[in-house]
A and B are shown apart, each in its own frame.
Chain A
Amino acid sequence: MTASEVHLPVSIPELLELLKRNPQLLLFAGGTGILREKGSRFIDLPPSIALLDNVAELRTVTRTERYVELGSGLRLSEILSFKQGTIAPILREAIAGIANPVIRNLATLGGNLACRERFMDSWSALACLDALLEIREPSGSHWMNVNRLIGETGKPALPPVMVISRIRVPVDSWPFILVRKLGQAGWPGDDTWTFAALAKIDKGYLVDLRLAMGGRCGLRFPELDSRLEGSSLPLGTKEVVALVADYREAAWELDPDAALPFSRMADLALGKLR
């Protein structure tokens, strides 16, 4: 086992300086994603680690009329303990479904979004909400929509050397929400997916619909979501069946194994609006 050098940055500029000098630096937040499935007595860690615990900017919460900005270093249990109305109910529900309470006492939202192998549970809720991520890189910073984390093959596509510093989550209210975890319980595997849906209804009309599903790839199809916008409720069976078939086709194109779960969940969500 090789010894690792552990850095304890206290600010984002200091963290970015470390990243600039060493692009291989491992960012260590709650550590629950990094240590997952490493059941052995000793753990081999990369030579350089930056513990994010002391970076105060990653732990801030700012609220405006339109959104709440969550520091990526907030622990999942802290976010769940915010008083009702601070965060979108769909995000609360997705976070409450992650692991168990003691893991959520360590795990952070940033670590959940920064997984490079798969889309973890918070992603689909944030994708429906069109949340934005503040990405800080040694070369600069920018905001990006979480939907842009879907790479060309559907897999997560995060910039190689970066820090997610804040997550900007809109706070407008959605009368219809649905979150479902599919597949085996416990650590997410190849057949596990998290589906999320939001719908806005005004005077008996569907005015906004958003469906997303995350797992080994990310699925979000805004052009299909908008197809029934403006339709009066209840939705017609024919339109729903046609839309579900198109969701299935779109999911198939990305990952054939995602087609069935996604279309079933789309059917369930639209069925509730029917």
Chain B
Amino acid sequence: MIVNFILNGEDVSLRARSGDRLIDILRDSFGLHAAKADCRKGTCGKCLVVMDGRLVPACMVLAFKVRGREVITIEGFVQTDEYKDVAEGIREVGLETCGFCDAGVILAIASAIEGQTRPDRTEIIEALSSVQCRCTDPETTLRAALAAADAKDRRLYARDRK
């Protein structure tokens, strides 16, 4: 089947089998390797992407479900101001990662702080629960998310004052 969708802002089209998973399409057909295919069961969160504004595991999305949608991978997300907030939060607390779950952690932090109101600790813990990280201490990741929320507040405040 032919699958047309928007990938990181560009219209793309490819031939896929109905049972192909989005994570494999991204990695094999588009060379986007930051999201990983680990469990392929929706549990590890290493394959997260944003589809139509919602964070989803790309291993649980089949080719036919992507048609007509907009997909943003971490490679597309790093171009945004929201990414800068998350990166600042991570830098501030010195969160060091092996890189395997980066796509998931960064996008999960971004989704935790994307709302109008500042999330509390419980809401952040809930958002981060979608990603299983083998290396880092959950408390440091939580602090990175809180620091990212501060960075976002600072950025929006500076923008509104202009």
A38 to B20, CA, bound (A): 12
Task: Across the interface, name the chain B residue whose C-beta is closest to A7.
Answer: B64
Task: Across the interface, name the chain A residue whose C-beta is closest to B54.
Answer: A105
- Known contacts: A101-B126, A102-B48. The answer to whether A43 contacts B19 by CB under 8 A is yes
Query: Which chain A positions have C-beta within 8 A of B127?
Result: 101
Task: Tally inter-chain residue pairs, CB-CB below 8 A.
Answer: 80
B45 within 8 Å of A (CB atoms): yes
Q: Is B19 in contact with A186, judged by CB distance below 8 angstroms?
A: no
Q: Which 9 pairs across A and B sit closest by C-beta, in order of nearness?
A: A43-B19, A102-B130, A105-B54, A4-B18, A100-B130, A6-B64, A39-B40, A39-B41, A105-B56
Residues of A within 8 A of B (CB): 1, 3-4, 6, 28, 31-32, 35-45, 49, 51, 53, 77, 99-103, 105-106, 186-187
Q: Is B24 in contact with A41, judged by CB distance below 8 angstroms?
A: yes
Q: Is B19 in contact with A1, judged by CB distance below 8 angstroms?
A: yes
B152 within 8 Å of A (CB atoms): no
- Listed A/B pairs (26) with beta-carbon separation below 8 Å: A1-B19, A4-B18, A6-B64, A31-B60, A31-B62, A32-B60, A35-B42, A35-B62, A37-B41, A38-B41, A39-B39, A39-B41, A40-B40, A42-B20, A45-B19, A45-B62, A51-B65, A100-B130, A101-B111, A102-B45, A102-B48, A102-B57, A102-B108, A103-B57, A106-B56, A186-B43
Q: Is B54 in contact with A43, judged by CB distance below 8 angstroms?
A: no
Contact with A along B13-45 (1 / 0, CB 8 A): 000011111001000000000000001111101
A261 to B7, CA, bound (A): 48
Task: Across the interface, name the chain A residue whose C-beta is closest to B20.
Answer: A42
Q: How far is the CB of A83 from chain B (nearest CB, A)?
A: 14
Q: How far is the CB of A106 from chain B (nearest CB, A)?
A: 5
